């Protein structure tokens, strides 16, 4: 549930727009923890009207191209976070700030969609998991790794076979027959 209802936000915004009341006074009057919340509501209302204050229950997915354009506009110094948000009908200017930070930290990769939620504890049985998880490895390294894994598997099998051979060599023929019959059941 949202902390503030849309009707309450409109009431506060209209009071600000109609009178000579500051953000700080309105925040104090309505027990809003910070004047910046009121300022954000006023900006959203001025740029998007009623829709800007509505509580959105859905997550908007923005395309990589849009994110790149927004980041570029900000970095070239043409527009602020707030003016970009107003212009593009993005309700939260801090989202643009996050895009800029991710772009500065990781480049274009930082703007691509990321997996969400808790990682699975189940083992990944996908044969191509290395191709998915190790995107920074070359194909040569991946084929080398696959070759070593296969070799390791066969060596482990060889060790198991040798252990069984030793075990059978120490058993009598009747013990071997009993063991083989127990495998059939």
Q: 43 with 74, same domain?
A: no
Its domain, for residue 101, covers: 64-111
Asked if residue 98 belongs to a domain, the reply is: yes
Q: What is the pLDDT of residues 52-107, one digit of tens each?
A: 777 665 667 888 888 888 888 888 887 788 888 877 777 777 888 999 998 888 88
Asked if residue 118 belongs to a domain, the reply is: no
Asked if residue 31 belongs to a domain, the reply is: yes
Q: 174 with 133, same domain?
A: yes
Mean pLDDT of the chain: 80
Percent of the chain past pLDDT 70, that is, above it, reads: 88
Asked if residue 122 belongs to a domain, the reply is: no
The residues, any chain, with a CB within 8 Å of residue 48's CB and separated by 6 or more, are 86, 89, 91
In angstroms, the first-to-last Cα distance of the chain is 60
Asked if residue 138 belongs to a domain, the reply is: yes
Neighbour tally for 168: CB within 10 Å: 12
Number of domains in the chain: 3
Q: What is the band of 1 on the pLDDT scale with cuts at 50, 70, 90? A: very low
């Amino acid at each position: 549930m949202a902390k503030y209802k849309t009707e309450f936000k409109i009431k506060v915004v209209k009071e600000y727009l109609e009178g000579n009341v500051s953000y700080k006074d309105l925040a104090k009057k309505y027990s809003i923890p910070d004047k910046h919340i009121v300022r954000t509501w006023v900006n959203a209302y001025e740029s998007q009207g009623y829709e800007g204050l509505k509580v959105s229950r859905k997550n908007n997915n923005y395309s990589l191209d849009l994110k790149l354009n927004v980041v570029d506009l900000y970095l070239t110094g043409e527009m602020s976070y707030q003016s970009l948000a107003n212009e593009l009908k993005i309700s939260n200017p801090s989202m643009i700030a996050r895009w800029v930070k991710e772009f500065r930290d990781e480049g274009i990769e930082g703007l691509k969609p990321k997996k969400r939620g808790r990682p699975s504890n189940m083992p990944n049985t996908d044969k191509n998991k290395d191709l998915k998880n190790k995107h920074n490895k070359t194909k040569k390294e991946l084929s080398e790794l696959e070759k070593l894994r296969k070799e390791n598997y066969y060596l482990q099998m060889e060790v198991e076979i040798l252990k069984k051979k030793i075990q059978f060599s120490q058993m009598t023929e009747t013990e071997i027959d009993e063991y083989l019959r127990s495998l059939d059941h």
